[in-house]
Amino acid sequence: MHKVEKITSTLAPLDIADIDTDQIIPAVWMKRIERSGFEDGLFQQWRRDPEFILNHPERRNATVLIAGPNFGCGSSREHAPWALRDYGFTAVIAPSFADIFKNNLANVGLVPVRLGVTEHRTLMDIAESDPKASVTIDVRNRTVRCESHDFVAEFDIADTAQHQLVNGLDPIDLTLELEAEIAEHEKHRPWWMPVGTGVVEEPFEKSGVKEAW
């Protein structure tokens, strides 16, 4: 993944609570076996309406989505973050996220920005009233700024997610960071546990029997 330390962009406001993953991307897209190319499925039903926010010309270059509370509820599938990423979004701002969805955002390189309710409402009002308003999200320092409207707020993000984003790490990379500790742990595995060959050598060897597991 790419490292993400700062994002500067205009905002796409979607002031709706409880947007679930079926609304983010319809279930029919789950038939695809690829992990990219989901941008056309993003908010597919809503985008048929010419008045939907992403169809407004002044919003099309926005890479930061600001949505209502409990964003990403419903199914835990990762296709919803993939659709946001493939469309071009780099961060989602909300007062709350579904937990699995929030983790999935960071796993694909998108920044989950959880603001307090008051700060979120203020920024949503700015975004809706001023399409040119631009924010800077500082992942390392956990701040959101909108200089043109004298807005600054701290946001909440898990330490692991922040570490992933600023260092460009996916979940496999996170595991590999612990390779030395894992190797040391393996040295002290109990004698009765599998040794990685697909054959349990003990205690069956002690009794003269070797059995596959």
* Sign, Cα dihedral of 79, 85, 89, 95: positive
Could you tell me if 124 and 61 lie in one domain? yes
Query: Given this model, what pLDDT does residue 197 score?
Result: 53
The reply to whether 1 falls in a domain is: no
Residue spans of the chain under pLDDT 50: 199-207, 209-213
Could you tell me if 185 and 158 lie in one domain? no
27-86 confidence digits (pLDDT tens): 989 888 787 899 999 999 999 999 999 999 999 899 999 999 999 999 888 999 999 999
Residue-by-residue DSSP string for 155-181? -B--HHHHHHHHHT--HHHHHHTTHHH
Element (H, E) at 122: helix 117-129
The reply to whether 185 falls in a domain is: yes
The reply to whether 15 falls in a domain is: yes
Q: 109 — alpha (psi -120 to 50), left (phi > 0) or beta? A: left
What is the domain count for the chain?
2
Query: Given this model, what pLDDT does residue 128 score?
Result: 98
Could you tell me if 105 and 201 lie in one domain? no
Could you tell me if 186 and 158 lie in one domain? no
145-178: buried (b, 16+ CB within 10 Å) or exposed (e) per residue? Answer: bbeebeeebebebeeebbebbeeebeeeeeeeee
Tokens matching residue 51: 């008045």
Distance CA 63, CA 87 (A): 9
Query: Given this model, what pLDDT does residue 196 score?
Result: 59
Pick the closest to residue 113 from 133, 142, 148, 84 (CA basis). 142
The structure tokens 């690829």 sit at 34
Q: How far apart are the first and last CA of the chain?
A: 37
Query: Given this model, what pLDDT does residue 200 score?
Result: 47
Dihedral pair phi/psi, residue 195, rounded to 5°: -105, 10
Could you tell me if 33 and 91 lie in one domain? yes
Distance CA 104, CA 35 (A): 13
Q: Give the CA count within 13 Å in the CB-facing half-sphere of 184.
A: 4
Could you tell me if 38 and 118 lie in one domain? yes
Could you tell me if 36 and 114 lie in one domain? yes
Range of the domain at 46: 6-169
